[in-house]
Chain A
């Protein structure tokens, strides 16, 4: 069937929605599995339906490979549904993995024929499908139908190689594993059971009395022999090697082809056969006897990494690389510019980190070397001579080449040892020895974090798992603004209605007008509320991605770490959710590398062997609080202090509070780690974290108890969230005070005010509260007459003669202040809007909101009121006036 362009885009949109749904289901399943609950039948049914629909879509698009991969997943799901298989955490992860690849194939790039991703998907699907087999311990005839008959069919014959077998042979030809042949008498099934744990069976044959297995394994010959307890033969990676197996198996290479199976069936057979043996045993420390084929390891690295992550990485890293190269050139002209060095260093660190996470060891190694060099430059142990910079540029060129290899879906591998030696030489040539210059880390760093700059563009297209409809954020924003306009129009109608009433239009008509206006207003509010909520997404979308990272990373450092996620359903503005990912990654890496101790150390300290990292999110007033907490060894105050003194951040006799000591770890270049590891330890991470959080107008706080763990709290404002506020009038202007900070509003007789010099206090239920005039806080004393262009400008001779004083008690934490206002207007839910970039440094106000009549009311910045410095200022102003 020929597809028209329209049909194709229709199919594409539909599959995108299905994949969204798939991802949502994965999330849910993951949650269920993590709580060790049984997966609900409904979820499985929903998943099955989703995948089934997706499969038929793929059929429409004529993508047989996708169809068969999805079919495999369906098979396993059928088993789960029939109770013949249990869906465990591994299975869910494989599902999630498949989902990511599908998304890559059909949504983000729409390249449904991309070979790399397709093979990855097939691999995952196979893993998933077979996962079920191994779980069903009891004889389950139906479940077994997938694999057994296929084997039976083949084991009966000693016929020539099937297409699948050939394909598998070819596949292994380029890989690291050795191919062995085992031919013996006895029970073939038993033998297969022995081989499976160590290798992948490529070919299996039995004849009258003997059987043959050709399999691939990473072990060397003697080890394999020890395991299977029979002599095996190491085969050349050449199909002709099969001829050396002896006459009885010579049929393998005969030209007759079996073609009595349909393609799809053949594929399934191949898949099952291969995957029964798929999880090959990782045996480190055994050197290969035969030199590995050129890009043998490569297949693995590209294959194992999540393609979405790889392409993210490539996009990010390429941009970083550009920044880096430019900065290097800058450094050449100005070798002592610490800002530039910091920029380079951070970019290098980020590339290295991500490459490491994705398992591109060569890139990681190279970046590590380059970063080392930069580190020494940064610490003034090396001078950035042109010679050295030349070498460094060469290094980054190699990195760039590696990237382009990756881009082509090939392994990022190039010989780098020669280069590393050159780099070392270049360093030695210019070594200036230890200088007494102070650490650079104290200098201010104004450079932007390049990684951050690259990130938003990237994330813009990432999926939003909760939505079934993708909407351009810009469209949504303009919708929000338009609704705001409509609200203003409504007030205009209200005025007309009033005019009608007062100027004697027919009573009936004005009544009708009033009624419809009321209705209009109510609907308006609803529309506004919904639109605001549209932008909110659960933070859990980000958290879920960490599960895998924690697993991989903890394995890498040999620690046992559990990840606990709480409050994933807390909603946060979409942009914030996207931006928060990077800082959290850094924090989690730190926790795993520095926070959590090794299992042995934990036991020795009387703790459970497994460390725990807890990520939680919760809403507190108009803030979202995200916590990353570990129960590791905690921060060593003394060591941080010592290091800070050494770095010149603290003086010997300084005695800062513990909180301030903890905050030192956010200084650029600060690290107490004695050993710089691949994961962290250079003190770059925390600096970046703090910068990113500040960019989001958030606050980050550390709390730690030695031996018990570290808790890092990030507080973010919920931008665009609706904030209930109290409106007050001061000097004829309306202001909003966020209701969370309003304790109460009180009316008193001015005689009750107690004076203490020029300060005023009031006693309120045994608590003494300082009274401050709102107008003083915002410097509105001189406001009268400053409005030249105001409609019906009210003179601010407003009610100075008051026999009652109105004040609002506001509070942050335990502190209380009474703000004296002219009038209380009322309570209203508002949307806080920024004042725009020009006024981003404006103090005293947290933003503005639009009132119904088109006016702007400013929102008081409560923290500023409690800020000691500004308090001093307005008190001073008050005395002066």
Chain B
């Protein structure tokens, strides 16, 4: 999987180099992934690691976006259920499911995604900020949209996931859990 992507990326890089070398210097590299039917982007710089989903332990009294905790090389960290966070219907483990380990401010956590689809380079002009007011509540963790020929894809902002999920007080998550089930 990863190997494939790397090849893809290398091919892209090579072609990009031939056509327009400045792309590499100006742009930023993104990882495209799918959650339910939605494709999203995340900056590659934010992703520390991509792993196969490890067994996840239930974390009591946690906010509903947190699926549980996992251990990565002896370090325990929470994983975020992106489907639930973004309001999609229930998903399940599949062979394509991956966990992205992100690390804003040295605080690692995982994000469960259904599939990783591609890597791409985007220049500044390919990204547009979106007025927050027009976004659905769940999409407050989106910092912008990436325009491309086929679709408009939101850009996931790791920092706002951090503040959205983890600064929530403990205590009212219970109701959330119940309403979700």
Contacts and interface: CB of A to CB of B under 8 A. Distances in A.
Contact of B71 (A790, A837, A845, A854): A854
Given A782-B181, A842-B62, A858-B59, A484 B68 contact: no
B73 A481 contact: yes
Given A485-B73, A835-B69, A789 B112 contact: yes
Most chain B CB inside 10 Å of its own CB: which residue of A783, A837, A838, A855: A838
Contact of B90 (A480, A788, A847): A788
A839 B59 contact: yes
Contact of A838 (B60, B81, B107, B178): B107
A786 B176 CA distance: 11
B58 A733 contact: yes
A848 interface: yes
A789 B92 contact: yes
Contacts of A843: 61, 170
A322 interface: no
B54 interface: yes
B149 interface: no
Contacts of B177: 779, 782-783, 786
Contacts of A782: 174, 177-178, 181
Interface centre among B60, B61, B170, B178 (most CB of A within 10 A): B60
Nearest to A873: B171
Interface in A836-872: 836-839, 841-845, 847-848, 850, 853-858
A59 interface: no
B57 A785 contact: no
A877 B177 CA distance: 13
Contacts of B58: 731, 733, 780, 783, 786-787, 858
B84 to A, nearest CB: 7
Nearest to A484: B74
A789 B74 contact: no
A252 B106 CA distance: 72
Interface string A143-176: 0000000000000000000000000000000000
A754 interface: no
A472 interface: no
Given A778-B60, A842-B170, A834 B76 contact: yes
Interface in B132-181: 162, 166, 170-171, 174, 177-178, 180-181
A789 B180 contact: no
A148 to B, nearest CB: 66
A836 B76 contact: yes
Candidate in B67, B171, B174 with the most chain A CB atoms within 10 angstroms: B174
Interface string B95-113: 0010000000011110010
Given A779-B60, A789-B56, A856 B71 contact: yes
A791 interface: yes
Sort chain B's interface into a size bin.
Answer: 35 or more
B91 interface: yes
Given A786-B181, A788-B67, A733 B57 contact: yes
Point out which of B54, B67, B69, B78 has the most chain A C-beta atoms below 10 A from its C-beta: B69
B181 to A, nearest CB: 5
Given A782-B178, A838-B109, A854-B55, A480 B69 contact: no
B81 A789 contact: yes
Q: Which of B54, B74, B166 has the most CB atoms of chain A within a 10 A radius of its CB?
A: B74
A841 B171 CA distance: 11
Nearest to B174: A779
A881 to B, nearest CB: 8
Contacts of B78: 835-836, 838-839
Contact of A788 (B61, B83, B107): B83
B40 interface: no
Contacts of A789: 53, 56, 67, 81, 91-93, 97, 112
A784 B62 CA distance: 15
A786 B180 contact: yes
B61 A785 contact: no
B59 A484 contact: no
B177 to A, nearest CB: 5
B55 A855 contact: yes
A823 interface: no
Contact of B60 (A482, A833, A845, A847): A845
Nearest to B64: A786
Interface in B11-63: 53-62
Nearest to A833: B76
Contacts of B97: 789
B170 A841 contact: yes
B62 A856 contact: no
Interface in A800-858: 833-839, 841-845, 847-848, 850, 853-858
A571 to B, nearest CB: 22
B89 to A, nearest CB: 10
Contacts of A836: 75-78, 107-109
Which residue, of A785, A836, A845, has the highest number of chain B Cβ atoms within 10 A?
A: A836
Contact of A787 (B68, B71, B178): B68
B70 interface: yes
Contacts of B181: 782, 784-786
A856 B70 contact: yes
A782 B177 CA distance: 7
14 contacts: A484-B73, A485-B73, A778-B61, A785-B181, A789-B93, A791-B53, A835-B69, A835-B76, A835-B78, A838-B77, A848-B71, A855-B54, A855-B57, A858-B69
Given A780-B60, A782-B177, 16 more contacts: A733-B57, A734-B57, A782-B174, A782-B178, A783-B58, A785-B181, A787-B58, A788-B93, A789-B97, A790-B56, A833-B74, A838-B166, A839-B166, A845-B60, A847-B76, A858-B69
- For the complex of A and B, the 7 pairs showing the least CB-CB separation, nearest first, are A481-B74, A778-B60, A856-B57, A855-B55, A484-B74, A848-B76, A782-B177
